[in-house]
Structure 1
Amino acid sequence: MSGWNSSELQVFCNSSQRFLQPLWDCVRNPDALTQSPFFLVIFGITTYVVFCLPFVVLDVLYPWVPALRRYKIHPNFSPTARQLLPCLGQTLYQHVLFVFPVTLLHWASSPDRLLTEAPELLELACHVLVCLLLFDAEFFAWHVLHHKVPWLYRTFHKVHHQNSSSFALATQYMSVWELFSLGFFDAVNVKLLGCHPLTVLVFHVINIWLSVEDHSGYNFPWSTHRLVPFGWYGGVVHHDLHHTQFNCNFAPYFTHWDRLLGTLRLAHAK
């Protein structure tokens, strides 16, 4: 079978671009919430809470639904209101006090007119994947450093480890320094790749979901690490081992950096 010629490739690119165009037209509508300086904060916190909510409901139901035990990584642990509420409160507090002013500055410095054309679907997928791989490498290096240097751990990263057994709302229970470090990595990566604004939104949604799932404490048959072959993606089991043992599995998502540097630890599959 011969490969695609240039005209066929152009047709495919145009069709994939048209596939995303209605969505992009809604996003760039002058009357849409997306044009508000409040949008990025509202978008980020809403996406995070919506992704956490199903796991919070499961945690509430857990004592009365024995069938959930087969999916719980720590069957004898269920977060209490005294653990859930401070995590949610700190997330809201940091977004209002620190994230919102930064997003205002970003909004004020952004161009007045957005691109009229949507990204191609393949371009969007490739950029999201590369952003995830870059973020994984950057956070791996940051994470190892903050575990190996006692002062950095005590001053900045220890907050995130106050809950040894993870749960969804503990995902963003972290110091301001850690929050801005992760945000900085995200911002640099999308700028470096020249990502389309729609690609940036999609990346943030996927990144938030993967982070919440990693901390959820539930290992379902449809969890992301079960869908990615060859053990390339660690997922919730991989990250939970980091929280319980501290000295392994420093990468947030993929396993190649831990494998290469000898910090990978595997759990027995359930």
Structure 2
Amino acid sequence: MDEGTLSAERFEEHRAHLRAVAYRMLGSLSEAEDAVQEAWIKAARADVSGVENLRGWLTTVVSRVCLDLLRSRKSRREDPLDERPVEPAVRLLRRSDPEAELVMADSVGLALLVVMEALSPVERLAFVLHDLFAVPFADIAPIVDRSPETTQRIASRARRRVRDQGEADAGDRLRRFRAVDAFMQAARDGEFATLLSMLDPEATYRPDEAARLLGAGTEMFGARAIAEAFSGAGQWTQAVLLNGDVGVVLAPRGKLRLVLTVSFKGDRIAAIEAFAEPERLAAVELRLP
């Protein structure tokens, strides 16, 4: 091995830190693991003989990888529908270790991850590196291709946006997420009484034609009818952030088949819409908090 080549052992010393950085930027453990692996591939090819602060250098490498991923998400949201795949694979739902994902999310704070969804890629990177990892603006600036002064202003703007969006709004979205997650767990477990208690008495369920053909049922009105239909169902489903709000996806083996949007009236679910049209599926941005 060349003297300037980074060994796997030296990289592993910093893996936990790099994963923490990537997770806070991306909000997905599987994506964070992919970003760290990509950082390792890039680092292993580089000459590190002149690197004095390996941890800082690797942080820069993984940050660039994360920035590319965040920009890719944004560009996918802006692509015309006819340029998107009609059967999207849901890579963000690939969670090899759900317990590890939950532990990581709890350590960061789900509320913070939800709020940061509103930030642009550059804002998110500057905020995470400076405010959460105390990286100097002079080190962040080359990553985002800005001056240190401009980078500081970007981070300050991101900080204000996080603060102004407010814990109340994030907390409300988190409560909705947890309620939807609990609703689908009750559905899978066949807990009819729990389902009934979580639904508004005048709740509605409306599937599109593709969802009906997929076996997602027909239009229903009233909490009892919906609770009866959902009781014992819900396999392969998972609660997600759907275009920044809360929803449910059916994605067996990572292939997106059905999306449920969920609306609330107070603390209860008031409306569920199911859709499976390929064009609509391709247009949504799915995130796991």
**TM-score per shorter chain, which class?**
under 0.3
State the TM-score, normalized to the length of structure 2: 0.25
User: Could you say which structure has the higher helix fraction?
Assistant: 1
User: Could you say which structure has the higher strand fraction?
Assistant: 2
User: Using CA pairs below 8 Å that are at least 6 residues apart, which structure has the higher relative contact order?
Assistant: 1
